Amino acid sequence: DAEITQSPRHKITETGRQVTLACHQTWNHNNMFWYRQDLGHGLRLIHYSYGVHDTNKGEVSDGYSVSRSNTEDLPLTLESAASSQTSVYFCASSGFPLGNEQFFGPGTRLTVL
């Protein structure tokens, strides 16, 4: 069965370190998204991609970057982790044939000390 996976599931890091969160989907979807989930804010879009080599900023993109070198993967990098980036991060994908339905990964809980 097609799926979307994230790794690691839990990560503790220190302020100032670079961190990369992995997202891998086997749906062959063109569209991939990264969200962060925080109490009182719901899910907020960080970055998204509509295809290989395409990346776009979402509403809370400062301090984050993504790259899309193939269809399956969209890694999220925190260039210099800050305590304000402690959150739960979700990756999602969408595409043919259910164009506007997004499928979510299980999430990565990141703690920045």
Residues found near other proteins in the complex (CB under 8 A): 30-31, 33, 35, 40-45, 48, 50-51, 54, 58, 90, 92, 94-95, 99-107
Read off the tokens for 110: 């990141």
- Distance of closest approach, residue 82 Cβ to other proteins, in angstroms: 23
Q: Provide the 10 A C-beta neighbour count for residue 25.
A: 24
Q: What sign does the CA torsion over 94, 46, 44, 34 have?
A: positive
- Distance of closest approach, residue 4 Cβ to other proteins, in angstroms: 8
Read off the tokens for 4: 């979307």
Backbone angles phi, psi at 84, to 5 degrees: -70, -10
Read off the tokens for 99: 């164009």
Q: Which residue number, 17 or 96, has a Cβ lying nearer to other proteins?
A: 96
Q: Which residue number, 16 or 51, has a Cβ lying nearer to other proteins?
A: 51
Q: Which residue number, 58 or 63, has a Cβ lying nearer to other proteins?
A: 58
- Distance of closest approach, residue 107 Cβ to other proteins, in angstroms: 5
